[in-house]
Amino acid sequence: MSMWAIFYRLREAREGIARNTWASIATVVLLTLTLLMFGGFLWLNANLAQVANLLERQVQVRVFPAEGTPAETLLTRVEVLPGIRGVELLEGESAYERLAPVFGRNTLMNALPADAFSDSLSVELLDPELANETVELIRDLDGVGDVIWGQGFAQVLYRISNSIQKGGIIFIIGFFIAALLMSLTAMQLAVLNREVEIQIQHWVGVGPWGIRSQFLIEAFLLGLFSSILAGASFLYLGEVIQKIIISLLPFMSSQLSSPKLVIGVVLITGPILGLLGGGLASQRAIGKGR
Amino acid sequence: MVGASGMGKTTLLKLLYKEEIPDNGQVLIGDMDTARIHGSKLRRSMGIIFQSFRLLEKKSAYENIAYGAEVLAMPPPEVRRRTKEILELVGLENKSHRLPSELSGGEQQRVAIGRALINEPKLIIADEPTGDLDPENTDRVLGIFDRFHKEHKATVLFATHAVDVVNRLGRRVIRLEDGKVISDATGGYWAGEKKESAS
């Protein structure tokens, strides 16, 4: 397509959008909402997966000996198990010492029995993803009283993430179909409004794709405009949401993924959605101008 | 090209600009077999005019004529030059900024003719272009075709059933009946449908 062809097509597209003002506004609003939902879903999902991953990687296994088993004895049994990077003995006394500056030594002595803090083992794993198996091995050892570790929370987050992913995909597909239908309707109106133009172009020798291109450009512009609006809104809303998450979960401050990638995806998706609507609607134009 | 309504004039014209595809046989324009060329490319060498003007209501006479060239991506300076020439040819240079609704029927038809001529076609196909016009505007339209033919060496194929128009032109007359050419004479005289059937 030559430079002048693009110039004329852009002018026609601008006039077309102005002619179908309300249909164009409705299309842009619906496309923008869809893209916002789509971006929000992507971002939420990426962050939930990241939190779950972070929690799992930071998993600390704490092993408490059974009554009558010295922690030192258990340490020698645990450290030889496969999947163990290292084992540290945590004396109950040290926990007492750590709490004393906070609550006061006297308060603690009065409030807690003498053996309130038993000795335990802090176990570091080689591969956090094999935590389940390793924990089971530890549990099977003689002299193990209790094993506490944080994967339960991580698994809950994974489940939430998966549910959002599945539900979100259905939700997004529904919105996409609605947005596509809206874009299709707007472009069909544009085709109907331009029957005379299409006929004239046909008579003077414009090819089917030449006729179609004006509708594709128009739809592309609507999609692009929607994606810019959605991207800008997402940039603003993303910051607000980020602040809320950090205020609730301060440890996430360095872990939240940047919304920039999501904004990039949104910017690409809008014009694609517009082009799909324009492409389907302009089949009609090609039929008229065969 | 003459013949009564329903004798196949419009169908023959549609075959020429590939709006219709023949079931069998060939459509040749000069040495060119139209089956071997894409319809849009073929139509770029033609100017097609109808009885209905099909003008863009929100564009001025100037813009309507220029539109025919713009959609073929002609550079704006060339569009301006040609549009000016065509406006002069069709005698609307003083009404170039008027909308179609502000023009008479004859003037609207001249705008439609201007739009068909702006790409300097080698073949002009006109299907009953004077059908809705009074004698004065019919004369003007015929004058435009005659001048364009002389200046650009373009062929004008004109379908009509108006006896006076055919006889005034005194050109080659092809007579169609039931889709068949029944006579083809240069400088011919056509007696008209009623007299013919009587004879």
| pLDDT tens, position by position, A130-146 | 777 888 888 888 888 88
According to DSSP, the residues that pair with B125 across neighbouring strands are B48, B157
User: In angstroms, rounded to a whole number, what is the distance separating the alpha carbons of residues A154 and A182?
Assistant: 40
CB contacts of A208 in chain B (<8 Å) are 40
A200 contacts B43? CB cut-off 8 A: no
Gyration radius of chain B over CA positions:
17
What's the full length of chain B, in residues?
199
| pLDDT tens, position by position, B169-189 | 778 899 998 889 988 888 766
**Contact B6/A at CB under 8 A:** no
Buried b (16+ CB within 10 A) or exposed e, A234-268: beebbeebbeebeeeeeeeeeebeebeebbebbbe
User: In angstroms, rounded to a whole number, what is the distance separating the alpha carbons of residues A156 and B196?
Assistant: 94
B54 contacts A200? CB cut-off 8 A: yes
Of B40, B45, B46, the CB nearest to A206: B40
Of A1, A5, A204, the CB nearest to B68: A204
| pLDDT tens, position by position, A115-133 | 667 788 888 877 766 777 8
| pLDDT tens, position by position, B116-125 | 999 999 999 9
Q: Is the pLDDT of residue A40 over 50?
A: yes
B43 contacts A204? CB cut-off 8 A: yes
| pLDDT tens, position by position, B113-163 | 999 999 999 999 999 998 888 888 898 999 999 999 999 999 999 998 887
Q: Is the pLDDT of residue B190 over 70?
A: no
Cβ pair A225, A276 in contact under 8 A: no
CA distance A41 to chain B (A): 43
B67 contacts A205? CB cut-off 8 A: no
ipTM for the predicted complex = 0.87
CA distance A179 to chain B (A): 30
CB contacts of B41 in chain A (<8 Å) are 205, 207
The whole-number pLDDT of residue A287 equals 63
